[in-house]
Structure 1
């Protein structure tokens, strides 16, 4: 029989899951980390791993690590595939941070700043627009793929959680 404490814990977990799903679309919010934290909150202190399998928890943690870091490695991989050098990648990250705070539209400002940083750095390095645009496109596509990987990872984590509760 569920207790009031477990019911309250599930409400907290559901809130963490909802914020996590929303966070997968927001570059500053660690969406998959919020989903994982909700799982940890329920599986360990609330459930004590009595009904929650440690093996499923380990799988959720692995998915969380891969999906949660996708926004770090996929945009960089995309830009690198497009021909960007490490200075352009750094300029893209800096541009993304600036864009997040300068352009008030969520996600849009970050992506515009990231792309502008790569484009500017690659153009200054190569003095040609075409390869600079190719590197920028690769980075922005990588960014979009990272959001998809994070969302899918968060949903899989939630579904695995549901099998245990």
Structure 2
């Protein structure tokens, strides 16, 4: 839920700021800025909640410590890539693959009731998936619209 809030609020603020400054909300750029800010926000979890993030990595994934740090760094790189005209398209394509690749982790997290912030098993469980899977699809759609098609 927090990433969605960051995405929507930063989109609104970006549109308002552009409109106030230039009388044009620059919707496409605002959409990329919002996704970049959301990615920076989520990347912090990889470092601030490392133990909990580690718990979300399914058993079939090797090098778990590396993967948590690596995906955090990837999110920062993607945030930067979305900001440049020369790279936003390829970054968008890579983000789509990244969001799809996260689905097994989301399923594993839900099945095991993992609370990544507390690094324990008090998470919401399978009800989490009713929100998280559509959210992943929403993020993919956002990236398609704001980074791949435009």
| TM-score normalised by structure 1 residue count | 0.33
Rg: which structure is higher? Answer: 1
Q: TM-score, normalised by structure 2?
A: 0.36
The higher-RCO structure (CA 8 Å, 6+ apart) is: 1
